[in-house]
Amino acid sequence: MRELRHRLFLRLTTWLTLTACFAVLSSALLLALNLSMVMTLWGDDIQVTAYLNQDAGPDRLREIEGILKRDARIGRFEYTSREKALTDFRAQMASYAPDLAADDDLLSLIPSSFQISLAGSAPADRLEDLAHDLKNVAGVEEVRYGQEWLKKYSAVLSALKGSVGLIGGVLLVAGLLVIGNAVRASVEARRNEVEVLEMIGATSWMIRKPFLMEGATLGFLSSLSAVILTFGGFLAVQGVIRDELNFLNLAQHVRYFPLWGVAFAVVGGTVLGAMASYLCIRRLNDGWAAAGGRR
Amino acid sequence: MIEFSHVYKTYPGPVHALKNVDLSIGKGEFVFLTGPSGAGKSTLFRMISAFDLVTSGHLLVSGYDLTRMSASEIPYFRRRIGVVFQDFRLLKNLTVAENVALPLRVRGDTESQIRRRVAEMLEQVGLPHKQDQFPEILSGGEQQRTAIARALIHQPGVLIADEPTGNLDPELSEEIMDLLERVCAQGTTVFVATHDHEMVKRRNKRAVRIRAGILEGDCR
Ligand SMILES: Nc1ncnc2c1ncn2[C@@H]1O[C@H](COP(=O)(O)OP(=O)(O)OP(=O)(O)O)[C@@H](O)[C@H]1O
Ligand SMILES: [Mg+2]
């Protein structure tokens, strides 16, 4: 009875440990997934703004328009005259700083510009090339885009992917060891049974099956509970993003794993469990074992 | 049925557990194996039951050449023999009937075949009324009779028993020996290791003596 309780306890702790392992792993994956999604989302919004020289006349303007039209990297562009820019600026500023908005000298400070969006999705390096080329166009005074921000973002993202990979590797090995440990304990507890089964002519598959099943079951239950746990966590975070961080406009974009991803995680956990127990019972009974391998 | 020729078994050390063993046991024979502790009786039985491999020489059991057998054949070979140990080796989480049924389960018999055969077997060893009990609450003799039933249920050609009465008092020992003789009378080859010289004398059967790994007496 005490033995039974002990084994139950061991299985319970194994299950909890594995669940924690898998939950951390899937949370990290989920975070990486959503960050990269937000990245492309914001990446799509990135515009290059080319400010024109104060003295660029209508001819120059038409020339530049022609260049922009011919450039395959550019999807859409829009001209903003300095008058329009000023009106927009005044409208925005009116409530904050009415004095500033009324200043007529502003007109001479605000340049006219082109707002340029890239064709297709825009990797950071392509954006940089384009900005560089635009700068060399006659009549373009300055080119602005979110370069610093974008670079930092990519760096953060690749660091994140790297560490998720690393954490994932460590956690998978830890998972293998934890399952292996539980299965080894249950092999130890059932050594007598294994010997009896060998003696009456059970094949090695028959003898191993229950241990493989035990490992697979542990893997299945743990990955399933980890997926559920992570989903709960996800819903909570999504709620916070919707209610508290609404200005980020992300609530409808953050995603949980797709269904196939969940299925893959659970199947993967099950396979991992079976594999871990296979690794530690490989040498359980290879024919002549019970006597020769009686430790 | 059992055929040793020039069999040596050397354990790392080296311990020469069997030296040049020649022994032939025919179908339906009843043979005792005697010898002092550490003489090599269990080693000999482990060779016969394919729990260990001979170092050199040849060993044939029930038509299987154990020196040439591949690991994957071993389970099928073991279904042709029956093995009984001094310490019974019953599974304590299974009932008597379930313990006895194991070899048939492993073989894949149907549930009705198994039920019929278990009933027959328990009848033969005199335990039909204990079928639903767990081994722990049985007496030593009853446990050993359960183990014998398990060793015989699949009707093996050979039954080997390593000191089957070692844990039992004299009366129960006689009971077990009577059972083994009955089994032999039905055509099974029975090979029994024992320390009990008195019993061997009383039974008046073929007896093989082993000392320090060498077979030295074979009297019929
Ligand atoms: N796995 C092993 N490794 C090394 N030596 C072994 C091993 N198994 C048995 N021996 C040695 O082989 C010899 C024979 O042992 P065995 O168990 O066959 O004796 P036995 O006749 O059955 O004795 P007992 O009557 O006490 O059961 C002993 O010296 C033992 O120490
Ligand atoms: Mg012995």
Q: Is the pLDDT of residue A291 over 50?
A: no
Is the CB of residue B42 below 6 angstroms from any atom belonging to ligand 1?
A: yes
Please tell me the distance from the alpha carbon of residue A261 to that of residue A294, in angstroms, as a whole number.
44
The domain ranges of chain B are: 27-40+80-219
By the 10 Å C-beta count (0-12 exposed, 13-18 middle, 19+ buried), A11 is classed as middle
Lowest-confidence region among A57-71, A256-270, B174-188: A57-71
**How many CA atoms lie less than 13 Å away from A246 in the CB half-sphere?**
3
pLDDT digits 0-9 by tens, B8-25: 999 998 999 999 999 999
Best residue among B15, B51, B192, B216 to mutate for probing ligand 1, ranked by most atoms within 8 Å of CB? B15
- Contact between A200 and B89 using a beta-carbon 8 Å cutoff: no
Q: What is the ipTM of this complex?
A: 0.89
Please state which CATH number belongs to domain A47-145.
3.30.70.3040
- Contact between B103 and A201 using a beta-carbon 8 Å cutoff: yes
Measure B208 CA to ligand 1 centroid, in angstroms.
17
Q: In terms of pLDDT, which residue wins out, B148 or A248?
A: B148
What does the pLDDT read at residue A50? 84
Q: In terms of pLDDT, which residue wins out, A93 or A81?
A: A81
**Min CA distance, B220 vs chain A (Å)?**
30
| Chain centre distance of CA B189 | 10
What does the pLDDT read at residue A118? 74
**What number is the average pLDDT over the span B194-214?**
91
Give me the percent of chain B exceeding a pLDDT of 90.
75
Measure B45 CA to ligand 1 centroid, in angstroms.
11
What does the pLDDT read at residue A288? 41
Report how far apart, in Å, the C-alpha atoms of B158 and of each of A140, B8, B72 are: 101, 22, 20
What does the pLDDT read at residue A289? 42
Tokens of A203: 């094949």
Query: Cα-flanking dihedrals φ and ψ of residue A178, to 5°?
Result: -65, -45
Tell me the pLDDT band of A147, cut-offs 50, 70 and 90: low
What does the pLDDT read at residue A287? 42
Among partner residues B53, B72, B106, which is closest to A200 by beta-carbon distance?
A: B106
Strand partners, A89: none
Is the CB of residue B43 below 6 angstroms from any atom belonging to ligand 1?
A: yes
What does the pLDDT read at residue A36? 75
What does the pLDDT read at residue A293? 35
What does the pLDDT read at residue A154? 73
pLDDT digits 0-9 by tens, B55-103: 999 999 999 999 888 888 899 999 999 999 988 999 988 999 999 999 9
Q: Is the pLDDT of residue A101 over 50?
A: yes
Give me the percent of chain A exceeding a pLDDT of 90.
17
Strand partners, A47: A117
> What is the number of CB-based contacts under 8 A between chain A and chain B?
59
pLDDT digits 0-9 by tens, A10-32: 889 999 999 998 999 888 888 88
Lowest-confidence region among A3-12, A172-181, A265-274: A3-12
Query: Tokens 């004299």 belong to which residue?
Result: B170
The domain ranges of chain A are: 2-42+151-294, 47-145
- Contact between A193 and B91 using a beta-carbon 8 Å cutoff: yes
Highest mean pLDDT among A6-15, A79-88, A223-232, A246-255: A223-232
Within chain A, residue ranges assigned H as helices are: 2-45, 58-70, 82-93, 98-102, 106-109, 124-135, 147-189, 191-199, 204-243, 259-281, 289-292
Q: Is the pLDDT of residue A194 over 50?
A: yes
What does the pLDDT read at residue A16? 93
Rg (CA), chain A: 31
Q: Is the pLDDT of residue A250 over 80?
A: no
**What number is the average pLDDT over the span A167-178?**
88
pLDDT digits 0-9 by tens, A207-228: 889 999 999 999 999 999 999 9
Given CATH 3.90.1150.10, say whether it is the number of domain B27-40+80-219.
no
Q: Is A199 on the interface with B (CB under 8 A)?
A: yes
Find the Cα–Cα–Cα–Cα dihedral A234, A236, A241, A243, rounded to 10°. Answer: 150
- pTM reported for the whole predicted model: 0.72
pLDDT digits 0-9 by tens, B137-150: 999 889 999 999 99
Q: What is the mean pLDDT of chain A?
A: 80
**Min CA distance, A239 vs chain B (Å)?**
51
**What number is the average pLDDT over the span A5-9?**
83
